[in-house]
Amino acid sequence: MAVAVQRVTVLGAGSWGTAFAKVLADAGRDVTVWARRAEIAAEIRGEHTNAGYLPGVDLPPRLTATSDPAAALDGAEAVVLAVPSQSLRANLTSWTGLLPPSAILVSLAKGVELGTLKRMSEVISEISGVPDGGVVVVSGPNLAKEIAHGQPAAAVLACADHDRAVAVQQASSTSYFRPYTNTDVVGVELGGACKNVIALSCGMAAGMGFGTNTMATLITRGLAEMARLGTKLGADPLTFAGLAGLGDLVATCSSPLSRNRSFGERLGRGDTLEEAQRAAGGQVAEGVMSCSSIRELASSFGVDMPITDAMHRVCHEGIDPRRVGAELLGREQKHEWS
């Protein structure tokens, strides 16, 4: 039976960490956010805002914050990891001695680690000792700013241990946020990581002036390549038709709020990687790193991911987006599902 979770700690006070903390507080939970910067913790505590990440959003007064991880984690029944994927290992390693042993660990991060090629829940399991599949993974069409404004959305909570997923489902259900459970951790996590790369490609296409047919083509063929990788790694193909696959692809690939899409748009307009990074103002566009790790993961399993490969070539080999676009269209002709 699922345990009731009342006291939740969210580690990371960026866009999604803060918005998800608001969801939990709106669902009646006692939530403490850990912010890397003391001034952000003070702003959340004192003004009930986090204006740098979520302008115009009032946070519930029951949501509190600190920049001291030990104070944040004291007594937590669930711990939500809300830092960028490539920084998760270093952050979590610094927190390991502080994690309450029975706390349910929840991951918001969407990425595949460079070097190890591990999914985020695998990194968390390795460091925390929680068995593989025991971390609850949150994914779906969840643009932080929309959710922080109380706009309706659904999400998936994936965990091999159904009771843990249900505990987090109960702790995060509100009138505007509807989480579903799922046991396909591999599929849900890969969907979230891969769609960031496809969103980069859609942004790039928009930046080059292309329209809806091009977007729809990239979304659909992006879905095909992420499902190909996922099924090879043991995911349920149906997951990719759900919120963590198609749902998140549609949201991220079509919204101007997506940082990955916006990043790609700048590259498509001719910005360099450094210029696009400066414009992102320190916020993460996970696809820029994940295109390389996912490409390597796919290649090690003999899976073809041409759009992901193209994004790696633009971001890390300096190839012109127009050239990779032409190359994608000029690939060997084949059956849609081969």
Ligand X SMILES: NC(=O)C1=CN([C@@H]2O[C@H](COP(=O)(O)OP(=O)(O)OC[C@H]3O[C@@H](n4cnc5c(N)ncnc54)[C@H](O)[C@@H]3O)[C@@H](O)[C@H]2O)C=CC1
Ligand Y SMILES: O=C(CO)COP(=O)(O)O
- CB-wise, 258 or 324, nearer to ligand X? 258
Instruction: Check the annotation: does 195 bind a ligand.
Output: yes
Contacts of 42 (CB under 8 A, 6+ apart): 65
Q: Give the CA distances from residue 108 to residues 10, 55, 84, 177, 301, in Å, rounded to whole numbers and listed in that order.
A: 10, 21, 9, 15, 26
Contact flag: residue 195 with ligand X (CB under 6 A): no
Q: Which does 85 bind (CB under 5 to 8 A by kind): ligand Y, ligand X, none?
A: ligand X
The single residue among 26, 189, 248, 265 that binds ligand Y, judged by CB under 6 A, is 248
282 is in an annotated binding site: no
> Which of ligand X, ligand Y, none interacts with 33 (beta carbon under 5 to 8 A by kind)?
none
Ligand-binding site membership of 35 (annotated): no
| Binding partner at 293 among ligand Y, ligand X, none, C-beta below 5 to 8 Å by kind | none
Number of residues that bind ligand X (CB under 6 A): 25
> 25-84: which residues touch ligand X (CB under 6 A)?
35-36, 53, 82-84
Residues in region 200-239 near ligand X by CB under 6 A: none
Establish whether 195 is a catalytic residue.
yes
Nearer to ligand Y, 9 or 196 (CB): 196
In the complex, minimum distance from the CB of residue 302 to ligand X, in angstroms, rounded to a whole number? 27
Q: Which does 109 bind (CB under 5 to 8 A by kind): ligand Y, ligand X, none?
A: ligand X
265 is in an annotated binding site: no
Indicate the residue among 143 and 167 with the shorter CB distance to ligand X: 143
Which residue among 258, 290, 293, 308 contacts ligand Y (CB under 6 A)?
258
Which residues of this chain interact with ligand X, rule CB under 6 A? Answer: 12-17, 35-36, 53, 82-85, 87, 91, 108-111, 142-144, 283-284, 286
Q: Which amino acids are annotated catalytic?
A: 195
